[in-house]
Structures are given as structure tokens and as C-alpha cells.
Structure 1
Amino acid sequence: MRAARPSRPVRCALTTGLCAAVALLAACTGGDPSPGPDGTPTPTVDPGPQPEGVVATAVIPEGGVDHEVRVHPLVRAGEHVVLTLDIVPVEEMEETIHILGFGVTSFIADGSDPVNVRLFDLAGDVVHHVGADAEGEPVVAPDDWDRITGERGTRLQMPFAAPAADVESLALLVPGAPLFADVPIVDGDLPAAAHPDDVAALATAAASAAAAASASPSATPEVEEVEPPEELDLDAVVTAPTFPLESTSAELAGAVRTIESTEKVEVTLGSDVLFAFDSADLTPAAAEAVALVAQRLAEREAGTVEVVGHTDDQADDAYNRDLSARRAQAVADALAAQVDGSGHRMKVEGRGEAEPIADNGTEEGKAVNRRVTVSLTSTVITRTDVTTTGELPPFGAYVGTAGTPLRVENFARAWDVDATARRVHGHVVVDLTVHGADDEDGLGWAVSFLRGFSSHRPGETVTPHDLTARGTVLQGASRLFPLDYRVGVNETWPDGEWFTASDLDAGAWIDGGQTRTYTFVYPRLDVESVVFQAGTGVAFDDDFRLLDVPVAADGAATPTPDPTD
């Protein structure tokens, strides 16, 4: 989190740019259609969304004050699209508000603010980050966009990489608001850099000054001066990164974990389910796990399937390599029998204890290290939804049903939580509302039960410290994690830092009576309802589970639940 910037002096003048903005606003207001020859209005064609128009709104809490976020269409500008947001307080402010929830404390990614505001192409499974300059800092206008000092709020403009010409809309994730699933992309001039209310106020002030000068030519009227708005510098954008989204699910009581992206599928099989101790013979229970892997392979074009066995460090290295190779071969043989005729080729290897992904000093770590991984890099030709049969595992004290707010209490506060869900291009999107169920103001308490501190991925990985990593969806025997993507690697984290398709800052401040929405984007799942779960029900007393969250169809409007009902 960066330090708050010092206040800057405000200068006074109605600039040419602002005058142009006033003219633009006047032009955008339109008017009645011109009358036809018979005196009746001539029908006009709806021009569709316009750059200065507002296509969606939501209310988010920041710094103890509710603000309305007004979303404008994305405007194509060469190789970029530009996002314009107006952030306007909807209640009285007593002091400057800093929008901290839009920033991210990253261990690897360049820049920080406001990378928590992102565009998603959920048809193509790609996420867009804000464009950055040569130093890796985000290009944003204005420079002090995160400082709200008055009732008119601020206007934020950000560039992103433009999608293909045939992509007509993208999804927008703004922290604290439900996912805006369909923000249109339009052509035209960028909206004015100044907030429309600022333009109108300045125009009024200028008119008043002109009238005063006309009435008293010898007097010098006092005119409110305002610093000219900072224009978005698209020429400063050196890179506008995009990342492929990956999906992860854990199935069959943890025996099978699948990680999938557009290019690659990787499945990890727990050896303790596949094999008896010190054996390379598949157990009867392994059949369902192998069938699941075969199903994943059948979804993709033919290629080389790498089957790699791993062990813990209980025996010597030579023995472990031999055991891991024999186990990998057993899995490969079983897979080959099920995908016969598909053209897949099996490549088998045993690496023994050489590549642990957990601590061999504990029994739990040893169990994780005993595994067989199956991976294939190729094009997806079909897509099958994850397994949805099986029983839910037991849980802790806080279990409720969607539609009836669940009261969750911890050492700090009491919260009411509820959720709705919908599909966006097949993906399940959960909008979780958290409502401060008391009258306390100014405490700055964050919602601790959503905060995650580590990746669900194995190996030397890391995530931003406060991302909402503990929110998962359960469906039968499957546990789905939010979609995620790797933003980079370094020497400390060779397996990379991973961002989730959910709020990257779970440390947001919610006062009593305020409501904040947390959105989670999950893999594709063809079901009518899901179970949403925060945590495991074991580690923390305020973990909770919401049953029977209905999933609305693609494109259907899903009302945001009201936790106060």
C-alpha cells in the first residue's frame, strides 16, 4: 500500500479543455427529433452507448463512506481501450477519502495502484491489467485519482490492451461491487478528463464572473480557480499486459486436483488413493480417478501426455526413483487403455523424491509429495464440466442457506453474509455481500474470514497478502477455486505470483450498516445451484458455508441480495 500523497494547491482558471468539455456535454444531451414534413417527429435510430453515457452503477464503501461508481463504455483508442469511472460520494464527507481498495500489495508484479480494477474476457478466458509506463508504473489519470476531497468525487481513466475487433464487450471487476459482466466497447472520442459535475460547476462560476465583470467593469471579480484536469497520456503506455486464466478444482476427497488453462491441463493424483503402501499396483479405488483424468485428456487434441511419478523421502533416492517410475507407468497404462484411438502418446518418468512440493518433515507434507502428475499441452476441442456427484464434507458452526442472511460473529464484529450466483460465458460468478450488522463507525475493521495468505497451488508460489483466496464453491465431490493467473516469477518465487479473479484486497473497511460485495469467478459448471464456502470450517471460528445458492442463466439479471431483509 502506498503512502497517501500530500494535498496539492488548487489553481483557478476555466481552461480551453474544460470549455470544450462543456460543449461536448451540451452536444451529448441531444434533443427532440426534428419534425417531418407533416409536423410529426421523425423517428431516430438509437445510436447505442455513447462514451459520456453511464452504462452501469454500484455503491461501494471506501474509508467509511459510501460512494457510487458510475461506469462508462470502454472506448477504443488504437491498440488500447480506455475505461472511465466516476467515483462520487453518496453521503457527507468530513475529510479526504483515500481509495485504498483499488491497490494491491504485490510481491512480483510491477506497480500497484489500481491493478485491482481489471477487465475480463470470460469468453476467451483472458484478464487485462492496466497499462504501464517504462518504469512499470500504471498509467492513470489523474495522478491523484485515489484522493476524494469533495462531494463531486473524482473521474478515473485507465488504458488496457484492446481485445480483438470482433469483441463487443468485456467484464469489469471493481472492488466492492458486483462484477459488471457486459461493459460495451464503443468507438468515438474519449470522455472529458474532468468530471461532468466539475465542468458544470466551473461553467457556472465562469458565467457568474463574466456577469460580475460586465456589471462592474472597473472591479476585478474574484473567480474560483481550479487546476486543469490531467489528460490520460496514452503515449506513455509501454505495456498493457494480458494473462490467460486458469481453473483449478479438487475432486474425490482431495485425491484428484485439476489445473486447466487454454493451452494446458495438469492433473495431480494422490498416490495414497491410487496405490497401497510401497506398491505400484493400482487399487480398486483408483479407477474413478483415472477415469476422470481420461475425460480431461479426451477434451483435447492429440499430443504427448507426460506422466511423472513422485515420492516422499522415506527410502533412498534410487529406490524412490524406481517406485515412482513404476507407479507412473501403471497410471500411463491405465490411461492408455481408456483413451485408445485418440492419438495421445504417453511419456513416463519417475523423479522420486527430487521435486517435493511440501515439507517432508511432516506426515501431511509427505502425503502431498507422494503423487503422480499427468499433463498435456494442446488445444481444447471440447470442455466437460467438473464432477458434481458426491456428498458434502462436514463443516463448522456457521452454515446457512442463500436468501436468508447468515450472522457470522468474530472477536471484532458481527456480519450478515448472503450470496447470489450467475453464469457469464458459462463461468459461475458468485456475488457475496457482507453487511456490517452493528452500529460501529470508524473502527476500520476488515472482513477477516475472506483474507487469504497463500496460494492453493503447490510449489514455491505466492499471492498478494490480502486477496480473497478463502472463498470456494462446492458442488458434490468437487471444490472449485476462483480462476487465477500467474503475473510473474522471480528467484524467491520460482513458481510465480498468482492473482485470483476475485478481489485482491480483502482488507477493505466496512462500517456498521454498510454493505460490500465480493465477486468470485469460478470455472464453468452446468448446475442450478452451488454451495459457497469461506475457509475449511476447521482453521478459523468464523469460517462459513452458504447452501443452495441459485445460479442464474447466462445473461439473466441477478438481483443483489439485501442483507438487511
Structure 2
Amino acid sequence: MASTTTSSTELGNNLRIDIHSLHRQDDHVVLDFSMTHLGGGEDRVLALLPPNSGDGAADFQPFSLIDPKNESKHLPLLYTDGSCYCSDWKESGIDPGGRIRAWMAFPGPPQGVDSMILTSAIAPPIFNIPITEDGKSRPPSGDLSDPRIWDLRSIEEDLNSGTTREETADEVAISLSTDVLFEVGESRLTSTASQTLQQVAQEIESSSGSVVEIDGHTDDTGTDSINDPLSLDRAESVKRALSDLISKPTVEYKVEGHGSQQPIATNETDEGRKKNRRVTITFQR
């Protein structure tokens, strides 16, 4: 039906994803696909494994389907034990010329949506995959968790400042690197933080919302007894700075510190820990 091949990734360009069908089954859709090693030689290539509840909270998903009509991202369906509602392929690698054939279930889009887009962690998207009404029935073998359907987000990342901006049609979330805002282990804002916060304050000033959520996060260096209060103190410092810069009287601030409990990247590398050290400011557009 359609295919896409890896490019510019650590997997090289030897892994192809083929779509065989996408069909409705009750209130979900089932994707039938395969992953094929196109290269010669003797080297295996890595294959994406079945997703589970441990796969990246927000920033990494091995597979997802996009509903372009309703601008939503549909994540694989999981059972309540965290396992995937999918075929159980266990191969972590594929030999040259080899192939893994598999299927996976996703929350279905509303009736009237006749095609979806497949995105994966290893290859370019596949557009306009038609949804059919006939296909092999694959009933779930246990209790399913609630479906995960997210609004599509526009994401921008400034590598120099460590700022990440996520937008939906209704909401803006700006994550600021605490390496820019604070000295190591401190919760007092640096002099260089003011310009960044002034820009955020101007956006909040002109926004339609009245609630600003400020969430502090750390990496997992140190203990919870240090990280939890540090993340809260840093969020409070940002709140005080924004409240001084914002003049409209209707703004309500909600401040929380999460310590290292909500990472968005691995804590095994310096780059990952840097991403996890952040203060996120969320408000309505």
C-alpha cells in the first residue's frame, strides 16, 4: 500500500517500513505493516520494538498515527499492564534480506476520516494511508487502557538557549533551561534571565488566558530531598519575576516542583540531563 525508508539516522538507509493495510475494527484501527532489511553484507539493523507504557512520556514515540482532518496524534493502544495491543515480535534486529511482519492497534478516528499518516522514530512519514472497513479481526485479549489521543503540537527548539516551545491551537508551553536561568544548585535568577522572561511575559500579557502554570524540573543528579525543593524554589522565582513584568490583573499562577520525576530525555547523557533541567511555563493562547 505504501512504504518509507530510513535516512540520515544511526540505522543508515537500509530499513524499509511497508504498510499493508489500515482497517477499522470496532472503535480502533489496526495497522498491518512490515520492516525489511534492504542492505547486503552481514550486518543486522535495529528494528523498532513493540511500544509499551515506558516509551517516552511526551517526546518520543516509536509509532503514531496522525488524523490530519482533526489535527490529532493517535498513540498505540496499550493493555492495563502496559503491554502493547499488537503482535508480539521480539526481534531487536533484522538480518540482511530479512523481514518482520507485524500489526498494531491504535485509537480510531471519527467516522468520515478516510485516511491517516504514519510517523515513526526511524523514517519519514507515510501520508494518505487509506482506512478500509474490511480486514482481519484481532480482538483484544485483555483490558485496554484509556486511548491516548493528543492534539498536534508545533514544536520549536533553540539549541543555543535551550528553549523549547510547544503550541497547540489553544495552548503554549515554553520550557526554559535552568542552566540559563540559574547558577548550579541555586534558585535565584541570573541577570541574563531577565531578557528571556520579558519575552515570555509579553506573550502572556497579550494572551487570552488567565491561568499561568509554572512547573520546575531537575535531572536525577542528587536526591529527591534536594531536587524536589530546588525545582519548586526555581518555579517560584520565575513566578515572582513574571508577576512583576505582567500588568494585567486577572492572571492566576499555579506553581509546582516535580524534581526529577518527569524527565523528557534520558538522564544517562549530559545532553539529556540538560534537557531535563527546565522550568516550563504554560498558558492559553
Q: TM-score range by the shorter chain?
A: 0.5 to 0.7
What residue identity is the alignment partner of 2:84? Answer: P
8 Å contact kept, 1:140–1:158: yes
Per-residue deviation, 1:181 = 3.4
Per-residue deviation, 1:238 = 1.9
The 1:274–1:81 alpha-carbon spacing in structure 2 relative to 1, beyond 3 Å, is closer
Deviations 1:460-502 (A, max 9, x none): 33357599x979xxxxxxxxx9xxxxxxxxxxx9x9xxxxxxx
Aligned partners of 2:255, 2:77: CA distance in 1, in Å? 43
Deviations 1:286-314 (A, max 9, x none): 46742443325635x432335799xxxxx
2:222 is matched with none
1:460 alignment partner, SS class: coil
The 1:94–1:189 alpha-carbon spacing in structure 2 relative to 1, beyond 3 Å, is farther
Aligned partners of 2:110, 2:159: CA distance in 1, in Å? 39
2:127 is matched with 181
2:198 is matched with 290
1:544 is matched with none
2:252 is matched with 347
Give runs of aligned pairs for residues 417-432 of structure 1, distance below 5 A: none
The 1:346–1:273 alpha-carbon spacing in structure 2 relative to 1, beyond 3 Å, is farther
Per-residue deviation, 1:335 = 2.0
8 Å contact kept, 2:161–2:180: no
Which of 235, 239, 260 is equivalent to 2:145?
A: 239
8 Å contact kept, 2:213–2:253: yes
Per-residue deviation, 1:176 = 3.3
Aligned partners of 1:271, 1:465: CA distance in 2, in Å? 17
Which of 246, 255, 258 is equivalent to 1:335?
A: 246
8 Å contact kept, 2:211–2:251: yes
Per-residue deviation, 1:160 = 0.7
1:177 alignment partner, SS class: coil
Aligned partners of 1:63, 1:333: CA distance in 2, in Å? 49
Output the TM-score relative to the length of structure 2: 0.57
Deviations 1:373-395 (A, max 9, x none): xxxxxxxxxxxxxxxxxxxxxxx
Per-residue deviation, 1:175 = 4.3
Question: Given the alignment of the two structures, is residue 254 of structure 1 paired with residue 161 of structure 2, yes or no?
Answer: yes
Aligned partners of 1:308, 1:89: CA distance in 2, in Å? 43
8 Å contact kept, 2:35–2:101: yes
The 1:177–1:326 alpha-carbon spacing in structure 2 relative to 1, beyond 3 Å, is closer
What residue identity is the alignment partner of 1:346? Answer: V
Output the TM-score relative to the length of structure 1: 0.33
Aligned partners of 1:91, 1:167: CA distance in 2, in Å? 36
Which of 223, 241, 265 is equivalent to 2:172?
A: 265
Question: Given the alignment of the two structures, is residue 79 of structure 1 paired with residue 24 of structure 2, yes or no?
Answer: no
Per-residue deviation, 1:169 = 2.8
Per-residue deviation, 1:103 = 1.9
1:182 alignment partner, SS class: strand
The 1:81–1:107 alpha-carbon spacing in structure 2 relative to 1, beyond 3 Å, is closer
Question: Given the alignment of the two structures, is residue 305 of structure 1 paired with residue 251 of structure 2, yes or no?
Answer: no
Per-residue deviation, 1:270 = 8.0
1:302 alignment partner, SS class: coil
Higher CA-based Rg: 1
2:246 alignment partner, SS class: helix
8 Å contact kept, 2:52–2:83: no
Deviations 1:157-187 (A, max 9, x none): 2111102224333221244321223323x23
8 Å contact kept, 1:294–1:335: yes
CA RMSD between the two structures: 5.6
Per-residue deviation, 1:122 = 6.0
The 1:273–1:176 alpha-carbon spacing in structure 2 relative to 1, beyond 3 Å, is closer
2:48 is matched with 102
8 Å contact kept, 1:247–1:259: yes
8 Å contact kept, 1:306–1:346: no
Aligned partners of 1:236, 1:273: CA distance in 2, in Å? 47
What residue identity is the alignment partner of 1:102? Answer: L
8 Å contact kept, 2:116–2:129: yes
What residue identity is the alignment partner of 2:172? Answer: V
In percent, how many aligned pairs have the same letter? 19
Give runs of aligned pairs for residues 183-198 of structure 1, distance below 5 A: 183-184=129-130, 186-190=131-135
- What are the ranges of 5 or more consecutive residues in structure 2 without an aligned counterpart? 183-187, 217-228, 279-285
1:400 is matched with none
2:4 is matched with 58
8 Å contact kept, 2:211–2:254: no
1:442 is matched with none
The 1:172–1:293 alpha-carbon spacing in structure 2 relative to 1, beyond 3 Å, is farther
Corresponding residue pairs, total = 247
Per-residue deviation, 1:58 = 2.8
Deviations 1:504-547 (A, max 9, x none): xxxxxxxxxxxxxxxxxxxxxxxxxxxxxxxxxxxxxxxxxxxx
Deviations 1:190-224 (A, max 9, x none): 1x6xxxxxxxxxxxxxxxxxxxxxxxxxxxxxxxx
The 1:154–1:259 alpha-carbon spacing in structure 2 relative to 1, beyond 3 Å, is closer
8 Å contact kept, 2:33–2:102: yes
Give runs of aligned pairs for residues 368-383 of structure 1, distance below 5 A: none
1:82 alignment partner, SS class: strand
1:345 alignment partner, SS class: coil
8 Å contact kept, 1:85–1:157: yes
Question: Given the alignment of the two structures, is residue 461 of structure 1 paired with residue 262 of structure 2, yes or no?
Answer: yes
Aligned partners of 2:134, 2:258: CA distance in 1, in Å? 54
Deviations 1:228-259 (A, max 9, x none): xxx73346562363253656656696396545
Aligned partners of 1:260, 1:106: CA distance in 2, in Å? 26
1:72 alignment partner, SS class: strand
8 Å contact kept, 1:81–1:159: yes
2:219 is matched with none
8 Å contact kept, 2:197–2:241: no
The 1:287–1:155 alpha-carbon spacing in structure 2 relative to 1, beyond 3 Å, is closer
